[in-house]
Amino acid sequence: MPFGRRITREKKTITAMMAIYCRDHHHTGHKRLCAECVSLLDYAHRRLDTCPFQEEKPACNLCEVHCYSAIMRERVRDVMRYAGPRMLWPHPILSLGHILDKLRPAPKLKARAQSDKKRR
């Protein structure tokens, strides 16, 4: 299934953040991630693939569903806490998008299901 712009951008953002985090914490080069970070990134991408909000996806920290396991959530939080402020210079557009996402109110899952029904 092809993913929309929102999910595609989110995947690019988390990939860029993981690259910054891994480079500085695990001393890998710019072009590759260590095995641990590959598995975290893979997990995050799979969450995005199955995110029930898709194009209306809120910032994960505002989400009512919280589809991450507690451990993975904490790990991704660490990555975002570190890499978020370091994204502005190398990735200004992704960084701005991420900041705006955090300012937007999160949709309710029920409200979204109803608006999907109306659109059909």
Give the residues lining the site for Zn ion (CB under 5 A): 22, 26, 34, 37
- Cβ proximity to ligand SF4: between 41 and 48 the closer is 48
Number of residues near ligand SF4 (by CB under 6 A): 13
Site for ligand SF4 in 56-95 (CB under 6 A): 57-58, 60, 63, 65-68
DSSP state letters, 64-108: SS--S-HHHHHHHHHHHHHHGGGSTTT-HHHHHHHHHHHHSPPPP
Nearer CB in complex with ligand SF4: 51/83: 51
Cβ burial of 17 (10 Å; 0-12, 13-18, 19+) is buried
Sequence-separated (6 or more) residues with CB below 8 Å from residue 119: none
Q: Kindly state the smallest distance separating residue 14's Cβ from ligand SF4, in Å.
A: 10
Nearest distance, CB of residue 102 and Zn ion, angstroms: 24
